[in-house]
Amino acid sequence: QVQLEESGGGLVQAGGSLRLSCAASGRTFSSYAMAWFRQAPGKEREFVAAISQSGGSTSYKDAVKGRFTISRDNAKNTVYLEMNNLNPEDTAVYSCAARNFGIATTALYDYWGQGTQVTVSS
């Protein structure tokens, strides 16, 4: 079992950057694939990015490729999402998630954080 807590959200102008962090409890963090999802008002939750247990494999939603970077520091039990060149379409609640198996691009994850709000103004 793992507990997740996101931080780093906020208000940013279009073209700006933010780095989200997700801190995980426990000492088995490296056993989990990790991912970021987002949900805008009135929209379905969607996959953003995922990273394998060792960090050797990543996957991204097409719309964020080249702008977002997912990474993890297993020594700190933390996964990050570096977001650059943000645009208003990126406005959403961003949540991190943990999975007991390999990365997935769907919501087939076992543990979820509470989410952090990212708002991008025009």
pLDDT of 1:
78
CB 30 within 8 A of CB 43: no
pLDDT higher than 80, residue 87: yes
- DSSP assignment of 59-111, as one string? EE-GGGTTTEEEEEETTTTEEEEEE-S--GGG-EEEEEEEESSS--SSS--SE
pLDDT of 27:
74
pLDDT of 109:
95
Q: What is the pLDDT of residues 5-42, one digit of tens each?
A: 999 999 999 999 999 999 999 778 999 999 999 999 99
Helix (H, G, I), strand (E, B) or coil at 118: strand
Give the residue-averaged pLDDT of 44-58: 96
pLDDT of 26:
76
pLDDT of 41:
92
Residue 101's pLDDT band (cuts 50, 70, 90): confident
pLDDT of 108:
92
